[in-house]
C-alpha cells in the first residue's frame, strides 16, 4: 500500500474515522488524557473520563499499548454516563504509530451488558457476572475473557 504523509489530512481522516465508528472510541495520549472521543464514547463515559481509572483490572495496560502491544482488558463494571446503569466494559487499546513513534493509543470500549453477553446478578454474594446462556459467544476465545 502506498501512502503519502500529510499531517493535516491524517488528522482529518482520524477524526472522521473516530466519529463515524459504530462503537465507543477515543484517542488518548501517553498520560491517559483523552484528546479525541466520538459521541458514543461521550454518551457512555461522560464528557471527562480518565482512561487509567477504566483500567483497574490491568493497571499496566496503557504502558504496554504505548510499547506497541494491542491490549484487551477483562470486563470492568462502570456506571454509564447517559443512563446511570452499571455496565460491563471491555477496553481494547491499540497503539497509534506516528512520525515520532507511539505517542497515542486508541481505546475501544465494548459495552458487554448492552450486547447481552453478561448480566450482573444482584443476588449473588459477590455481585458476580452471569452469562446469558441463550446468547452464543462469537468464539470460544471470548468466553474466558468474560468470566475473568
| Confidence at 93, pLDDT banded by 50, 70, 90 | very high
Q: Quick check: 48 and 35 in contact, CB under 8 A?
A: no
Angstrom distance (rounded) from CA 148 to CA 21: 27
Q: What is the mean pLDDT of residues 86-106?
A: 87
DSSP for 93-121, written as a single string? EEEEEETTEEEEEEEEEEETTTTTSEEE-
Which residue has better confidence, 20 or 91? 91
Q: Is the pLDDT of residue 106 over 90?
A: yes
Q: Please give the model's pTM, rounded to 2 decimal places.
A: 0.71
Which residue in the block uniquely carries the three cell numbers 470500549?
A: 109
Q: Is the pLDDT of residue 132 over 80?
A: no
Q: Is the pLDDT of residue 102 over 60?
A: yes
Q: Tell me: the pLDDT tens digits for 15-48?
A: 788 788 888 999 999 888 998 899 999 988 888 7
In this predicted structure, what is the pLDDT of residue 60? Answer: 92
Q: Is the pLDDT of residue 100 over 80?
A: yes
Angstrom distance (rounded) from CA 37 to CA 66: 18
In this predicted structure, what is the pLDDT of residue 128? Answer: 55
Q: Tell me: the pLDDT tens digits for 48-87?
A: 788 888 888 888 999 999 999 999 987 777 777 877 777 7
| Confidence at 123, pLDDT banded by 50, 70, 90 | low
Task: Give the SS3 label for residue 26.
Answer: strand
Angstrom distance (rounded) from CA 6 to CA 15: 14
Task: Give the SS3 label for residue 132.
Answer: coil
Q: What is the largest CA-CA distance in the chain?
A: 57
User: Is the C-alpha dihedral spanning 32, 54, 92, 45 positive or negative?
Assistant: negative
Amino acid at each position: 500500500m502506498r501512502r503519502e504523509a500529510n499531517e493535516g489530512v491524517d488528522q482529518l481522516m482520524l477524526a472522521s474515522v473516530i466519529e463515524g465508528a459504530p462503537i465507543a472510541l477515543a484517542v488518548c495520549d501517553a498520560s491517559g488524557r483523552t484528546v479525541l472521543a466520538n459521541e458514543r464514547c461521550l454518551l457512555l463515559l461522560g464528557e471527562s473520563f480518565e482512561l487509567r481509572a477504566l483500567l483497574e483490572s490491568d493497571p499496566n495496560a496503557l504502558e504496554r499499548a504505548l510499547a506497541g502491544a494491542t491490549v484487551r482488558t477483562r470486563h470492568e463494571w462502570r456506571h454509564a454516563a447517559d443512563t446511570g446503569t452499571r455496565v460491563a466494559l471491555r477496553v481494547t487499546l491499540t497503539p497509534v504509530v506516528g512520525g515520532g513513534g507511539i505517542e497515542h493509543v486508541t481505546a475501544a470500549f465494548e459495552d458487554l451488558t448492552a450486547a447481552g453477553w453478561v448480566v450482573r446478578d444482584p443476588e449473588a454474594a459477590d455481585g458476580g457476572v452471569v452469562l446469558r446462556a441463550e446468547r452464543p459467544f462469537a468464539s470460544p476465545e471470548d468466553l474466558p475473557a468474560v468470566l475473568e
